[in-house]
Copies of this chain bind each other. A is one copy, B any other.
Amino acid sequence: MRTPRGAPVEAALTKGRLEALADGVFAIVMTLLVLDLRVPELAGSPAGAELARRLLELWPQFLAYVVSFLVLGIFWINHHFMLEQIKRSNSRLAWLNILFLMFVALVPFSTSMLGRYRLEQATAIAYGLNLLLILLSCLALWSYATRNRRLVDSEIDPRLVRVRKVTPLVGICIVVLAMGLSFVNPAASYIVYSIMVVALIVFTGLGLHERRSSGTSGGDTG
């Protein structure tokens, strides 16, 4: 555990606890989303059809819940992959990780906006801004860790380093575009966000980003 004199003691900052903090924050943020789904308040005792009607009226909240849960899923898997490749840890990585989590923890707020004021431009901008901050901190974390192979394996596949830089960069461009479109029509922003989310789920879910950097894969496809 003790590093030889001259080596940075910093390196002792164990990666495991960065992951534990991140898993905790993600688990809580995902679960807090449900607090925005409020059971309708009805005065009369036999609520009947009125209750069913009021429940169905909650669809924008349910949709916002599903979208944000999936967005958080995308970032959790990405964080997971990045830390899988990161072999050492230091204070600055811990701070970049905390910054990333600070923006992730804002998702319940943006989601609440989405559920309540989905037709407003302010919502499209706020949600986009939140995505932007998460993407930027993702990029910063990965760039810091891989510059000169600082915290990763020195023999890491360069394509793997590149693909994890290009993906958030593309995401940033798309989000900026979508935020611009909100000046025309907020709905247009949402369409762009949705396409991006679906594309990222397909991309990570099919493991395409992995396969591009690992040649032919074994029997775990399909």
**Interface code A196-222, partner B: CB below 8 Å = 1, 0 otherwise?**
000001001111001101111111101
Contact A39 B112 (CB under 8 A): yes
Contact B66 A150 (CB under 8 A): no
Q: How many residues of A contact B (CB 8 A)?
A: 96
* Chain B, Cβ-Cβ closest to A28: B31
Contact of A109 among B9, B27, B39 (CB under 8 A): B39
Contact B122 A52 (CB under 8 A): yes
* Chain B, Cβ-Cβ closest to A76: B21
- By secondary structure, the A interface counts as helix
Interface: A185 (CB within 8 A): no
**Known A-B contacts A6-B216, A7-B218, A116-B39; A105 and B31 likewise in contact (beta carbons under 8 Å):** yes
Interface: A162 (CB within 8 A): no
* Chain B, Cβ-Cβ closest to A69: B102
**18 other A-B residue contacts (CB within 8 Å) besides A34-B106, A91-B206:** A1-B153, A5-B214, A7-B218, A8-B207, A8-B211, A10-B211, A11-B218, A24-B24, A28-B28, A28-B31, A32-B35, A34-B105, A39-B112, A73-B94, A73-B95, A73-B98, A77-B94, A90-B207
